[in-house]
Every structure is written in C-alpha cells, then in structure tokens.
C-alpha cells in the first residue's frame, strides 16, 4: 500500500475545493431535490428537518469522516482499501467484502438512478420546447404517463444518461470528473439560487416556509425518525465507498474534518433550498396539492410552472438543475468499481468503465420495464414483505433500506474498532479532543443508530 503522502495510480484532485465540489456533487442529487422536500412535508415539516439535521451531524458526519480518512490513507478503490488497511492493522482480510458490497450497491443504484436521470433530460428538453406552457393538470399527467408507457423512449434517455456518465468517468479523475464538477456544480448553485428567487417572487413563499419549517411534533412518529436517519445516509452518499474513493484522490495536505463539515452543510442547505424552490410554485398553482412521489417532480411541477409567468424558462432551468444533480451523483456511483477494475486488471479507464456502464445499462432495463410491461411482475412474490414489489421497487428498497445501512455499519465498525488508531490519527491530523469525539461517534453512536434503522427496515422493530 502506498503511504499517505503519495498519489494513487488514479491521480488526485487539483485542490481541496475541487474535492468538496465533487463530494457535494455526489451528495446533492435526486435525494435532495425530490425526496427530501416531500418527506419533510409528510413528517411534520420542521420537526422532521430538526431530526434530520441531528442525524446528519451525529451519525452521517462521523461516517463521512471515516470514509474520507480510510480512502485517503489507502489511495485506492474501496475493495483494495479495506484489504490493505485490514492487513496493515492486523484485521481479517474479510473486510474487503465491505468494499465489494459498496461496489455492488453502487452498480445497482446507478441502474435505476440513470432511468430517472433520463426522465430529467427528457423533461429539460420538453420544458425548453415550451410543452408545459398553459398545460392542464390532466395533460401534465398524460405527458408523464406517455413517457412511462413508452419503453423505447425511456431506453433512449437512459442510454443518453449512461453515455454521459461513461464519457465523464472514462476520461479520468483530472480531465473527466474534475472538469465536470468544476463546471456543473457552480452552475447548479446558480440555477438553484435563481429558482429560489423566482419562487420568492412568484410563488406562495410564506406557505412553503411554514410547510417546511414549522415543527409539528404530532406529525412526527417513530417511522418518521427512522426515515430521517435513512435519508441522512442516502443523501450524503454514505455506506457504499463513493466518499472513500473520492477521498482517495484528496491531496495529502487538505484537512479532512473541515471539508467533511462543509460537505454536510452544503448538502443540507441545497436540500432546504430545493424545498424553497419547489413548494412556493406548487402552492400557487390552482387545485394542486403537495402530493408525494415521482409525481411531484414530473407531473405537479410541470403543471405548476405551466401556469406561471416565465414558467417556460424557469421550468427548463429547474429540470436542467435536476439533470446536473443526477449526473454528478451518477459519476460517483460508478467511480469505485472503475477504479477497482483499473487497479486489479490493469485495464484502461474506457474499457473498465465501458464494461461497467454496459452492465448497469442492461440492469437498468429492469427499471424501464417496471413502469410498463413488467409493472405487475413481482419477482419475489413468495417473500412476504416484498411480495407486491416490482423490479424497480425491489432494487430501490433493497439498496437504500438494506445495503447502504449495512455498508455504513461495516465502515463505522471498521474505522472505530479495527483500523489502527495511530493510522487514523495521523491521517486526520487534528487536535486530540476532536479525534476522540469522532472516534467514539464511529465506535458507538453511528453503529447503534444504523443498527436501529436496519432492524426497523427488516421489520424486527
Ligand atoms: N446522494 C445522492 C442523492 O441524494 C444519491 C447517492 C447515494 C449517490 C449513494 C451516491 C451514492 O441523490
């Protein structure tokens, strides 16, 4: 294993800011723009937001720090990182399976993420063509239904999304990932600011603020608390080695604790702003409710924009934002596996990433057909709790509900109990009390909390 002063074979980010942009790019995605606002709305607004913030700070951040630290120490893909660090710390080589689990989970998540990312591209173009102007609510529904009902069209957009991921990732850390995030992330921040400004000017901003921030403790139950925990994981891209891999490209002199805090805060602020861009517009459109699920983004919102002055332009900008956010998350999902193949087989990045993207594309067809031909196909019909889930619902539920938390649990336990203390302390280079606080967080607080989410997901509690 290479020492912590040397670059790995994949190269490294030009500076710590690029790393922050890349990591925020991974973290900010459909989870922030679509899932967070609606989950907050359903679970007591401000009450949910407070619990979520607590989860990010107490559970998410320690694991984020652990991933970045392990990655920067090992300077390689998660599978080799766990193998090498375990060897160095005298732990079992079996820890590499945590790396394998992450690589596999990333593969599966990207297969459906790409299909939804494809919808975002389709909607960017539709908004640009003015298809939403003055559209009626049922027409917006029919437009979305038309997309979902057409496998060839969905496959075309899914292919385009995967091709974009391939072109970026295959070009390497420096000319591919770094260039993409240094363009896409500032663009994303500007778009978001413009959309919040528009929502303030045109929408029912006060109602949105109340909806998102007024704590209604009676609407928050144990289920909501556990959802907040699970979402903290998903939104920070934790538990699957994405942040570990990005940490492997972090220059030796950058401070890990500082960057992790910036990443956590930025991801959260973007989620809150996304809510403030969406709900004011949704609330002024006649006769719409802040409904939940994919419908909010792809049906309610096009209709709402269609009723607003300059909605044509801002609808276009909104879906461009969603597309950028999905692309910068997508690249982080395939990078760990690409790095592994390059290390293990000595392949070039085009070959490694090309093969992976092909596999992911094929698996993605399962999600495409879940919205039409296979809508009623339930592969696990014989498993009680999963009996009525189609392919997409299984892949989605299995990854966020089970594989991410297992991976996060493993990473926390490894960093807290098995990785050599001196190695971590050296890599974190921080004042002693901060190191001690972090270490106890990954030793006890994070694993216990994650175990609770898992047991809940499995129906044990
Ligand atoms: N964090 C991304 C989002 O919020 C999703 C993601 C999960 C990306 C895991 C990478 C790894 O949309």
Q: Is 234 in the pocket of ligand 1 (CB under 6 A)?
A: yes
pLDDT higher than 80, residue 3: no
Residue range 415-428: mean pLDDT, rounded: 93
Residue range 86-107: mean pLDDT, rounded: 95
Closest CA to 248 of 71, 118, 116: 71
Query: 125-157 pLDDT, tens per residue?
Result: 999 999 999 898 889 889 999 999 999 999 999
Residue 429, SS3 per DSSP: coil
Query: 33-64 pLDDT, tens per residue?
Result: 988 887 887 787 888 888 899 889 988 999 99
The fraction of the chain above a pLDDT of 90, given in percent, is: 68
Residue range 159-179: mean pLDDT, rounded: 97
Q: Is 237 in the pocket of ligand 1 (CB under 6 A)?
A: yes
Q: Are 143 and 131 in contact (CB under 8 A)?
A: yes
Give first-to-last CA distance, the chain, whole Å. 42
CA atoms lying within 13 Å on the CB side of residue 310: 11
pTM for this structure?
A: 0.94
- What is the C-alpha to C-alpha distance for residues 330 and 271, in angstroms, rounded to an integer? 18
Q: Are 255 and 429 in contact (CB under 8 A)?
A: yes
Residue 333, SS3 per DSSP: helix
- What is the C-alpha to C-alpha distance for residues 49 and 275, in angstroms, rounded to an integer? 11
Residue range 14-25: mean pLDDT, rounded: 96
- What is the C-alpha to C-alpha distance for residues 303 and 305, in angstroms, rounded to an integer? 6
- What is the C-alpha to C-alpha distance for residues 257 and 428, in angstroms, rounded to an integer? 7
**Residue recorded with tokens 């990591």:** 23
pLDDT higher than 80, residue 431: no
Q: Are 231 and 36 in contact (CB under 8 A)?
A: yes
- What is the C-alpha to C-alpha distance for residues 204 and 418, in angstroms, rounded to an integer? 52
CA atoms lying within 13 Å on the CB side of residue 206: 0
- What is the C-alpha to C-alpha distance for residues 444 and 74, in angstroms, rounded to an integer? 24
Atom of ligand 1 nearest to the CA of 325: 12
Instruction: Look at 308 and 351; give whichever has higher pLDDT.
Output: 351
Q: Is 31 in the pocket of ligand 1 (CB under 6 A)?
A: yes
The CA 27 to ligand 1 mean position distance, Å, reads 5
pLDDT higher than 60, residue 1: no
Q: Are 445 and 59 in contact (CB under 8 A)?
A: yes
The CA 235 to ligand 1 mean position distance, Å, reads 5
Closest CA to 154 of 105, 117, 101: 117
Handedness of CA 61, 32, 118, 370 (dihedral sign): positive
- Characterize 185-197 residue by residue with b for buried, 16 or more Cβ atoms within 10 angstroms of its Cβ, and e for exposed: beebbebbebbbe
Q: Which pair of structure tokens corresponds to residue 92?
A: 């079992």
Atom of ligand 1 nearest to the CA of 236: 1
The CA 351 to ligand 1 mean position distance, Å, reads 25
**Domains of the chain (ranges, CATH numbers):** 3-457 (1.20.1740)
Instruction: Look at 163 and 457; give whichever has higher pLDDT.
Output: 163
pLDDT higher than 70, residue 288: no
Residue 292, SS3 per DSSP: coil
Handedness of CA 193, 197, 203, 204 (dihedral sign): positive
For 156, other C-beta atoms within 10 Å of its C-beta total 14
Task: Read off the pLDDT band of 444 (50, 70, 90).
Answer: very high
- What is the C-alpha to C-alpha distance for residues 325 and 266, in angstroms, rounded to an integer? 13
The CA 461 to ligand 1 mean position distance, Å, reads 26
Q: Could you write out the DSSP letters of every residue in 366-386?
A: HHHHHTTTTTT--TTTTSGGG
Residue range 65-78: mean pLDDT, rounded: 97
Closest CA to 332 of 28, 4, 100, 79: 28
Residue 118, SS3 per DSSP: helix
Q: Are 40 and 213 in contact (CB under 8 A)?
A: no
Instruction: Look at 31 and 432; give whichever has higher pLDDT.
Output: 31
- What is the C-alpha to C-alpha distance for residues 414 and 419, in angstroms, rounded to an integer? 6
Average model confidence (pLDDT) across the chain = 91
Q: Which pair of structure tokens corresponds to residue 255?
A: 């401070």
Looking at residue 441, what DSSP letter applies?
I
Least confident of 203-207, 222-226, 274-278, 415-419: 222-226
Task: Read off the pLDDT band of 21 (50, 70, 90).
Answer: very high
CA-closest residue to ligand 1 atom 10: 237
Q: Which pair of structure tokens corresponds to residue 205?
A: 């901003």
What does the pLDDT read at residue 383?
Answer: 84
Q: Are 180 and 325 in contact (CB under 8 A)?
A: no
Query: 303-348 pLDDT, tens per residue?
Result: 888 988 899 999 999 999 999 999 999 999 999 999 999 999 999 9
pLDDT higher than 70, residue 204: yes
Q: Are 267 and 20 in contact (CB under 8 A)?
A: no
């Amino acid at each position: 294993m290479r020492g912590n002063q040397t670059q790995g074979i994949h190269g490294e980010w030009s500076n710590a800011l690029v790393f922050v942009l890349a990591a925020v790019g991974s973290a900010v995605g459909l989870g922030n723009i679509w899932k967070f606002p609606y989950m907050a709305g359903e679970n007591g607004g401000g009450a949910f937001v407070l619990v979520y913030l607590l989860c990010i700070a107490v559970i998410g951040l320690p694991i984020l720090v652990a991933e970045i630290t392990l990655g920067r120490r090992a300077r390689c893909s998660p599978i080799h990182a766990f193998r090498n660090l375990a060897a160095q710390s005298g732990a079992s080589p079996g820890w590499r399976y945590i790396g394998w689990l992450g690589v596999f989970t990333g593969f599966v998540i990207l297969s459906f993420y790409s299909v939804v990312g494809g919808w975002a591209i389709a909607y960017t173009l539709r908004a640009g063509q003015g298809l939403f102007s003055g559209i009626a609510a049922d027409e917006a529904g029919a437009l979305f239904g038309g997309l979902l009902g057409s496998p060839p069209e969905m496959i075309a957009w899914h292919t385009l999304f995967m091709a974009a991921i391939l072109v970026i990732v295959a070009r390497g850390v420096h000319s591919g990932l770094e260039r993409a995030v240094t363009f896409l992330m500032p663009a994303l921040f500007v778009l978001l600011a413009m959309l919040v400004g528009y929502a303030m000017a045109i929408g029912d901003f006060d109602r949105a603020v109340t909806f998102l921030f007024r704590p209604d403790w009676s609407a928050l139950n144990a289920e909501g608390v556990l959802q907040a925990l699970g979402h903290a994981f998903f939104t920070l891209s934790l538990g699957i080695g994405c942040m570990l891999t990005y940490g492997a490209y972090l220059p030796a002199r950058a401070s890990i604790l500082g960057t992790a805090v910036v990443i956590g805060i930025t991801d959260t602020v973007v989620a809150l702003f996304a809510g403030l861009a969406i709900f004011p517009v949704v609330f002024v459109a006649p006769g719409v409710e802040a409904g939940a699920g994919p419908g909010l983004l792809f049906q309610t919102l096009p209709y709402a924009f269609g009723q607003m002055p300059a909605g044509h332009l801002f609808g276009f900008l909104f879906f461009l934002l969603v597309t950028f956010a999905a692309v910068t998350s997508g690249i982080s999902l395939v990078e760990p596996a690409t790095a592994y193949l390059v290390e293990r087989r000595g392949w070039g990045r085009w070959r490694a990433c090309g093969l992976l993207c092909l596999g992911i594309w094929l698996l993605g067809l399962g999600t495409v057909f879940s919205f039409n031909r296979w809508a009623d196909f339930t592969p696990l019909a014989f498993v009680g709790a999963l009996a009525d889930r189609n392919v997409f619902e299984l892949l989605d539920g299995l990854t966020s509900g089970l594989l991410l938390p297992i991976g996060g649990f493993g990473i926390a336990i490894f960093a807290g109990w098995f990785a050599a203390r001196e190695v971590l302390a050296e890599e974190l280079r921080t004042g002693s009390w901060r190191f001690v606080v972090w270490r106890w967080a990954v030793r006890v607080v994070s694993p216990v909390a994650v175990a609770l989410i898992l047991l809940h997901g499995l129906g044990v509690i």
